[in-house]
A and B are shown apart, each in its own frame.
Chain A
């Protein structure tokens, strides 16, 4: 166990990534099925995915003016989707889904959270599903939990929180199950960078951290290869699929590693590979049930429209919502494009949100589970104006 715990991963030039065997939280509770066959998977992308790079609006000429190295579009290997948007090269594994109508997105969406651009607060708001009329209060519970509360027939088995990452989105009064695989945990690129910063003024710690890189390289060269970079996300997806094939209808997990302040092509590329692997694993695991499944991949906010000085982007506002599954009407973009020109950006730096990301989630729940509009606006997402149905379910 100790040698496993000490398994290290070579990352970057100066710092270590650490892995850890996670603790299984498997528990058994009552079994009963939620009426209906539809399934919802929510993937939280922690760290703020750069929507403008994942789904590149290369048809907007301003993009090339604001970004020269990132989000270059088909000229740099991205896959054209509809003449305006292009799919990041590392999302290539999802291209067949787009073509089959099983992948879609809504660009320029956000939660009501604004301006402070804190990951913690941003994720809290995203998972709580509350608006600005309520203070950022992390004790109100998550919106998937409130969904369970308004769903007749929901039981503990109905929803699964998967992974070691705490999922506030499912916390609250309604019972649910959680499970974490024995998999490795790694420090994200951002955490490595921050740790390097923290150790910088302490020569003892700085030196030890540097040498650890070499040790980790040696340990990894002859160590077992059971965990590729996407193994963790795949394990979560595989487990979620197995539960959803049973009595569960809702699953939530998260994929970290999106805080691409520097070296974005590498860091984001890794994150997108993980995301694509997780979605494909869900599809594979769900088999025929994939046709009744909706996957929503949501992040706390987007990133700055302009590149920063270190090959990355900083915290922004509007981002992208990715949708996948056989239950969606895919192969198309939802929502309006706000533009990137003069006066069109939020605070002159971020993509302007054109729609509340909760509205898409709400319409999905309406379509999948028949949750009424007043329950969605009053209980699940208190204070939300649902607006018109985007019609993204097939």
Chain B
């Protein structure tokens, strides 16, 4: 059986083939995904997140004071307690309903590129707002807009400690010299090292410090919301990568926007992110040719993402080196559900406990606890990071258990082999599947195979 662009694009750029949806006919079909990856009707906002957080805190306060918890506080507590699971469910549903999946794969990619994490339950809703407000609106837009939205979003300010950073010479600090307040470089450093230029680029500690000083003034609290507070800001101009910002006309947020825009437009950012895209979608070790093709378009277009995606999708390398990548656990589960012909609606109808059993728990066992990455650099890309004895056992376990949990009638493994791989299946797998002793084991074999766990 022959295969071509449609199958390869579905497997490498989307969440795999499905018996319900045809694979993309051409490049345009793939690129329609990111155009539809914007915030949905159920999008979380910072405002809503703060409202829930504030209610939750009235409960904490009541408990501290030995007063009965108000019912609306209890409700907020429950909401926050299940919010990340419901978020995973929402993302799973959108991934299943995206005809190809490229759009939702990009949401995953960019949310991970701009990693945040709610380390305190009170911020669980804010973590959702981050994706809906900073990532989704810009997935099919310009990188510099996403960069600014992400690195000034309340969730990022909280996660990378920006809310505790104060200009050492700011009026706020000078009035409180006894409190030893000062600069926190965390966000400034990651903005350059992880989010744009890459660690290999030619910036130095002075650039980090000056950007950190420029970022002072960004503030957020659930009570008072997001604000630029001039009294926290370091006075005077800051020079970042040779460019001066601020100066006499202290522009606050506008200076920050200008600085981040200039960083986003640098060629190092084009190269760093082009490589990262190629590594994520094509190979742990992509060719220079592919990376340079992406970077050239990035530079020429000023980081216009749809144009960059187009180069990626239509590059000849999409047709070679299939299965260089291992599907990350979330991608694996979504691809598995798709291959089983399960629709978003069915996931939406599951009891929460059943959804936990089908996706939330398994991806944790596979090494990717949802919304809980280990550090600001996000999830690893290399295949080795995802395939160890424990985590492979979890993948096999899922393959054996979840199809029977969710389906009354399992697909015929021989038909599923065709609908899942569209001719890309390896000879050993094609040999083995018909020899399984039951449909359940045939299905498990397909899902646990290295063919399926790679893309």
Residues of A within 8 A of B (CB): 1-2, 5-6, 8, 16, 18-23, 46-48, 118-120, 123, 138, 164-166, 168, 171, 185, 187-188, 190-191, 194-195, 197-202, 204-205, 208-212, 214-216, 254, 256-259
Contact = CB atoms under 8 A, between A and B. Distances in A.
Contacts of A259: 435, 437
Contact of B450 (A120, A199, A214, A215): A199
B253 interface: no
Interface residues of B, number: 53
Contacts of A118: 434
A8 B390 CA distance: 9
B397 A20 contact: yes
Contacts of A198: 426, 428-429, 432, 445, 448-451
A191 B413 CA distance: 13
Contacts of A211: 388-389
21 contacts: A20-B401, A23-B405, A46-B437, A119-B437, A119-B438, A123-B439, A166-B404, A171-B409, A187-B400, A191-B445, A194-B433, A194-B445, A195-B448, A198-B449, A199-B450, A202-B450, A208-B392, A210-B389, A215-B389, A216-B393, A254-B438
A19 B383 contact: no
Contact of B401 (A1, A22, A138, A205): A22
A201 B391 CA distance: 19
Interface in B411-436: 412-414, 426, 428-429, 431-436
Select the residue from A188, A204, A210, A258 with max chain B CB neighbours within 10 A: A204
B361 interface: yes
A204 B401 contact: no
Given A120-B436, A166-B404, A166-B408, 4 more contacts: A23-B354, A197-B428, A211-B388, A215-B393
B440 interface: yes
Nearest to B451: A198
A232 to B, nearest CB: 13
A18 B434 CA distance: 21
Given A138-B412, A201-B426, A190 B437 contact: yes
Nearest to B429: A198
Contacts of A191: 436-437, 441, 444-445
Contacts of B357: 1, 21, 23
Contacts of B438: 46-47, 119-120, 123, 165, 188, 254, 256
A5 B396 CA distance: 11
B364 interface: yes
A226 B451 CA distance: 35
A48 B393 CA distance: 27
B149 interface: no
A209 B392 contact: yes
Contacts of B434: 118, 120
A256 B437 CA distance: 8
Contact of A190 (B436, B450, B453): B436
Interface of B: 326, 354, 357, 361-362, 364-365, 383-384, 387-394, 396-397, 400-401, 404-405, 407-410, 412-414, 426, 428-429, 431-442, 444-445, 448-451, 453-454
Contacts of A188: 437-438, 441
A-B pairs with lowest CB-CB distance, top 8: A47-B437, A20-B401, A212-B389, A259-B437, A202-B450, A211-B389, A194-B432, A208-B392
A48 B441 CA distance: 14
A120 B412 contact: yes
A272 to B, nearest CB: 16
B445 A5 contact: no
Given A6-B365, A191-B444, A195-B396, A164 B384 contact: no
Contacts of B429: 198
Contact of A8 (B393, B436, B451): B393
A211 B392 CA distance: 10
Given A47-B437, A187-B441, A211-B388, A164 B404 contact: yes
A123 B442 CA distance: 13
Select the residue from A46, A119, A216, A258 with max chain B CB neighbours within 10 A: A119
B439 A166 contact: yes
Contacts of A21: 357, 401
B332 to A, nearest CB: 13
A205 B453 contact: yes
A190 B435 contact: yes
Given A16-B393, A166-B410, A187 B444 contact: yes
Contact of B387 (A47, A119, A166, A204): A204
A171 B439 CA distance: 15
A48 B431 CA distance: 19
Contact of B389 (A46, A138, A209): A209
B393 A6 contact: yes
A18 B402 CA distance: 13
B365 A2 contact: yes
A118 B434 CA distance: 7
Contacts of A195: 396, 432, 445, 448-449
Contacts of B435: 119, 190, 194, 259
Contacts of A120: 412-414, 434, 436, 438-439, 442
Contact of A215 (B383, B390, B405, B440): B390
A136 to B, nearest CB: 10
Given A23-B357, A166-B409, A166-B410, A185 B365 contact: no
A20 B400 CA distance: 8
A258 B436 CA distance: 11
A142 to B, nearest CB: 12
Contacts of B450: 198-199, 202, 204-205
A18 B387 contact: no
B405 to A, nearest CB: 4
B439 A5 contact: no
A191 B447 CA distance: 13
B431 A197 contact: yes
Contact of B436 (A119, A199, A208): A119
B445 A6 contact: no
Nearest to A196: B432
B351 to A, nearest CB: 10
B166 to A, nearest CB: 42
B361 A204 contact: no
A2 B364 contact: yes
B390 A212 contact: yes
A185 B375 CA distance: 35
Nearest to A116: B434
Contact of A257 (B388, B408, B437, B445): B437
A197 B364 CA distance: 27
A224 to B, nearest CB: 17
A166 B429 CA distance: 23
A90 B401 CA distance: 29
Contacts of B437: 46-48, 119, 188, 190-191, 256-259
Contacts of B409: 166, 168, 171
B117 to A, nearest CB: 20
A201 B407 CA distance: 31
B394 A5 contact: yes
A21 B356 CA distance: 13
Nearest to B408: A166
Contacts of A164: 401, 404-405
A245 to B, nearest CB: 27
Nearest to B388: A208
A164 B434 CA distance: 21
A226 B392 CA distance: 24
Contacts of B365: 2, 5-6
